[in-house]
Copies of this chain bind each other. A is one copy, B any other.
C-alpha cells in the first residue's frame, strides 16, 4: 500500500478493464460474450429457474480500507452474494462487478480486490462476466450481482416456516462480530484465535454445499443466511412466514475462539452470537418429524453438527431462553443500515 494513487488515472478506464478481464472466465461453456461489450451474453440454465442477488458495499459503512486488505475485501464482496445463493439452495453461475475507485486508491489495492474475488470465484466455478468501473470522490464502492440456478422442487424460501418446526444453523455464530471488534479496537493479531476470528469476519466461506444439501433433504421449510444476526434473520423468517419462534441462547453454537475472546476482552459471547451478524452460515427451519434424520445425514456429510437453536411457534413474535433458563420476548435487533438498532 506504499504505491502512489496516480497509477489508475495513468492506466485509464479501458486499461483497467483489460486488467480485470484476465482470468475472468473459469467456466467458458455457458458464455457467449464476457467483459468488453455493452452487456454480457450467456446461455441461461435449461428448464431451471434462475436466481439473482446483489449487494452494495460502501467504504466507511461496510468496511474501512485501512483495516482490510484488498484481497480480503474482494473475497468478502463476492462471499456475501454467494451466501445469498446458498440460502436459496442454489448453485452460483456468474458475477458482475461494479467498482467505483477514489483517486487515492493504489492500483495494487484494486489488483488485490480482484485477486480475492477470483480466489473465491475459482473455488465455486463462478465467472466474472461483466461489471462497471468508474471513479469516486472519496469512498471505494463495490456492487456485485451474482446469478445462480436452482432446482424448482428444492427452492429454499423465507416464508415456509410452520409452528412446530425446529430452528437450526449450519455453523458457529458470533465469530464475525468478534472479528469486527478486532478491527474496531485495533487489536493486534497476536495469536491464531484472533486471526481466526478476524478471518471469519473478512473471509466468510459461503455455505453453498450446505444450502444445496438442505434443499435436497425436503426436510427444510425455510432458510436465510445469517447476515443481520441470528435474532434479526430469524425475525425475517417469522415475519415472512406469519409465525413466532423461541431461541434457546444456551444452544447457540459458539466457537472456542469466541469463548476465549469473550473471557479475555469481557464481551458477551452469547450476545455476539445472537445479534452480531455477518456470520454467513445458514439458518433454517426443519419439519420436526424429519429433524433427527437430517441431523444425522448432515453430521455424516459435513463432519460437524447441524446445530439446533430453537423452534417455530404460533406466537407471532420472537422469544429467547436466556442462560438462566428464563424465557422472554426479545426484539430482533441486528443490522439496520439506516441507524435503528445500530
Query: With A38-B224, A52-B129 in contact, is A96–B148 under 8 Å at CB?
Result: no
Whether A324 is near chain B, meaning CB under 8 Å from some CB there, is no
Whether A22 is near chain B, meaning CB under 8 Å from some CB there, is no
- How far is it, in angstroms, between the C-alpha of A238 and the C-alpha of B50 when the chains are bound? 35
- How far is it, in angstroms, between the C-alpha of A141 and the C-alpha of B40 when the chains are bound? 23
Shortest Cβ distance from A80 into B: residue: B132
Whether A101 is near chain B, meaning CB under 8 Å from some CB there, is yes
Shortest C-beta distance, A158 to chain B (Å), equals 5
Given B49, B84, B141, which contacts A58 in the complex, CB threshold below 8 Å? Answer: B141
Query: With A13-B337, A41-B50, A41-B155 in contact, is A56–B88 under 8 Å at CB?
Result: no
Shortest C-beta distance, A211 to chain B (Å), equals 10
Whether A70 is near chain B, meaning CB under 8 Å from some CB there, is no
Shortest C-beta distance, A108 to chain B (Å), equals 15
**0/1 per residue, A320-342, Cβ < 8 Å to B?**
00000000000000001111100
Specify which chain B residues have a CB less than 8 angstroms from the CB of A40 in the assembled complex. 51-53
Whether A42 is near chain B, meaning CB under 8 Å from some CB there, is yes
Q: Among the listed stretches A4-12, A172-180, A188-196, A293-301, which one makes contact with chain B, having 4 or more residues with CB under 8 Å of it?
A: A4-12
Evaluate contact between A39 and B52: CB separation under 8 angstroms.
yes
Given B42, B53, B55, B61, which contacts A52 in the complex, CB threshold below 8 Å? Answer: B42
Specify which chain B residues have a CB less than 8 angstroms from the CB of A90 in the assembled complex. 39
Whether A32 is near chain B, meaning CB under 8 Å from some CB there, is yes
Shortest C-beta distance, A18 to chain B (Å), equals 11
- How far is it, in angstroms, between the C-alpha of A61 and the C-alpha of B101 when the chains are bound? 11
Evaluate contact between B336 and A12: CB separation under 8 angstroms.
yes
Whether A73 is near chain B, meaning CB under 8 Å from some CB there, is no
Evaluate contact between B44 and A338: CB separation under 8 angstroms.
no
Whether A85 is near chain B, meaning CB under 8 Å from some CB there, is yes
Evaluate contact between B145 and A56: CB separation under 8 angstroms.
no
Shortest C-beta distance, A333 to chain B (Å), equals 12
- How far is it, in angstroms, between the C-alpha of A16 and the C-alpha of B340 when the chains are bound? 12
Evaluate contact between B132 and A55: CB separation under 8 angstroms.
yes
Whether A37 is near chain B, meaning CB under 8 Å from some CB there, is yes
Evaluate contact between B336 and A38: CB separation under 8 angstroms.
no
Which 6 residue pairs spanning A and B have beta carbons closest together? A44-B44, A39-B53, A143-B143, A56-B98, A38-B87, A9-B339
